[in-house]
Amino acid sequence: MSTTRRLAILAPGLVALFAVPAVAQQAAAPEEAHEHAVPPPAPPAAPTGQRTPAPRDAYVYIGWPNDGEVIHSTRFKVWFGTRNFGVAPASTDVPDTGHHHLLIDTPLPPMDEAIPNDKHHLHFGRGQTEAR
């Protein structure tokens, strides 16, 4: 028996981007405190997980499988294409970048909620542009 699956893709061209600042750890040698020493700067803010708007001309597409193509296997390769923005890991704080989500046999989730990571919502948070 053959099963037909419906694929959808979520990325910056379709929804808002996640803009999560990367938090860098800085190693500093211990310093002697001086009478007029200035306190060290505050550490960077923790990632907020807030979505930021995508560029107006951002565009995302699935390069393979082709639109309407029926996959007769439980294993297949998919690759994503983008225009007018970049792909980066989820924790990267670079303007006009984001990461992909692939939705399988499920409706679009509410755009103001986090997208789950399960067998119906595949999360490519490392910045992948293709997968098997």
pLDDT value at 78 more than 70 = yes
pLDDT value at 47 more than 70 = no
| pLDDT tens digits, 67-77 | 888 888 888 89
**Mean of per-residue pLDDT scores for the chain:** 71
What's the pLDDT score for residue 50? 67
Handedness of CA 98, 124, 108, 59 (dihedral sign): positive
Using alpha carbons only, what angle is made at residue 89 by residues 120 and 83, rounded to the nearest 5 degrees?
A: 85
What's the pLDDT score for residue 105? 87
> Residue 63's pLDDT band (boundaries 50, 70, 90)?
very high
Rounded CA-CA distance 99/129 in Å is 8
What's the pLDDT score for residue 28? 36
> Residue 80's pLDDT band (boundaries 50, 70, 90)?
very high
Rounded CA-CA distance 102/83 in Å is 17
- Cα pseudo-dihedral 92, 98, 104, 107, rounded to 10: 120
Rounded CA-CA distance 28/64 in Å is 47
Top-confidence residue, 93 or 11: 93
